[in-house]
Amino acid sequence: MKFTTSMSIPKIIGIIPARFASTRFPGKPLVDIAGKSMIRRVYEQASKAESLTKVVVATDDERIAEEVKKFGGDFVFTAPTHQSGTDRCAEVIEQMPDFDIVINIQGDEPFIEPAQIDLLASCFIEKKVQLATLIKSIESQESIYNPNSPKVVIDVNGRAIYFSRSPIPFIRNSEPGLWAEKHHFYKHIGIYGYRTDALKAITKLSPSSLEIAESLEQLRWIENGFYIQTKITNSETIAIDTPEDLVKLNKLLDALKLE
């Protein structure tokens, strides 16, 4: 990320929210992936990002904290009552207020590319940007209709207009199987950036009607008038949501002989 010499260089912290009590995969941050814990792999990848001044793990669990301490990382204890990683990031900033921008890094993407973090951070060169996230072109017809892969529509300046689990936009006068040929669809990549004042503000908002309907927290921000800038990444992410995902990944890594 490049800032001009006339601009003060912002202090950017990368925060990795990590909790042990996942509904679908308890203990997920501590699972072994080719000889390293998942949280360690995420931390090491994030630490390679040139834009970050500091990287910390935000957790409410002693076991995760001990693992981070074991590999020499930094962590912050946060309350166990948070409903989202965004809320956990906000508590970290209350404890560590000297940062201008926060990058919320998903704790279940062990091979996140540092360049993606830097791409997201570059959104904040524009002073008007309060919040930012990444999107990626949808390359398969199946992904358009997958409710677990949220879609996003953007304006001509890359500002997010809406996120949905449904295919958006609806392509009128076309068979659904042909939609990918008629329009350029984007899916949301779940990494967020926030200016610290915006982060504090959005965590004080009540859940919105659209957020409740779609179960997507970013809709709360849009409903309340916040500007969400997007940038397009060409890199695919590998998220571990379930034990089955881990089995598939380890089989792939065994085939590739990852060290």
**pLDDT-above-70 percentage for the chain:** 94
Contacts of 219 (CB under 8 A, 6+ apart): 162, 163, 208, 210, 211
pLDDT at res. 256: 61
Beta-sheet pairing, 160-164 with 12-18? unpaired
More confident residue, 85 or 237: 85
C-alpha 93/C-alpha 197 separation (Å) is 10
In sequence order, what are the beta bridge partners of 149?
Answer: none
Question: pLDDT per residue over 214-257, tens digit each?
Answer: 999 999 999 999 999 999 999 877 777 777 777 777 776 766 66
Alpha helices in the chain (DSSP H): 38-47, 62-70, 85-95, 114-121, 141-144, 179-182, 196-202, 209-214, 218-223, 243-256
pLDDT at res. 176: 85
Please name each of the domains of the chain with its CATH number.
12-254 (3.90.550.10)
Q: At what angle do helices 38-47 and 114-121 cross, to 10 degrees?
A: 50
Show the CA angle centred on residue 135, arms to residues 134 and 139, nearest 5°. 150
pLDDT at 7 over 60: no
Phi then psi for residue 220, to 5 deg, are -60, -40
Question: pLDDT per residue over 122-179, tens digit each?
Answer: 999 999 999 999 999 998 888 899 998 899 999 999 999 999 999 999 999 998 888 9
pLDDT at res. 6: 41
Residue 5 confidence class, pLDDT cut points 50, 70, 90: very low
In sequence order, what are the beta bridge partners of 14?
Answer: 55, 103
Given the structure tokens 């949808």, which residue do they identify? 138
C-alpha 130/C-alpha 198 separation (Å) is 6
pLDDT at 40 over 90: yes
pLDDT at 1 over 60: no
